[in-house]
Amino acid sequence: QQAASDVLVAVGQRFINKVMEEALTKFQPGILPHYFILQTFANLSVSNVFGMVPFLNSILGTMLPMLGMAKQDHMKAVFCY
């Protein structure tokens, strides 16, 4: 899963729209996402800052109501990252 996340980040440096289009399908409101979806978003934000700006409203709007659902420590940590 880490390797797949790293591949998405590498591809997202050049093709951010395609990567985000697919990643956002796994990021649905009311359903706690997989750890590596959030990790991929975080790493994409670091590697392609300007490319992620158009997606911030969508990501944060979906993420903020989910914060209370994160009960496990590793999920809390990845939400912070």
Reference 58, options 24, 81, 26; nearest CA is: 24
pLDDT at site 35? 93
Q: What tokens does 66 get? A: 């989910």
Mean pLDDT of 18-47: 92
Q: Could you read off the pLDDT of 55-69 as tens digits, one per residue?
A: 999 999 999 999 889
pLDDT at site 5? 93
Is residue 30 very low, low, confident or very high in pLDDT (cuts 50, 70, 90)?
A: confident
> What percentage of the chain has pLDDT greater than the value 70?
100
Q: Is the pTM of this model over 0.85?
A: yes
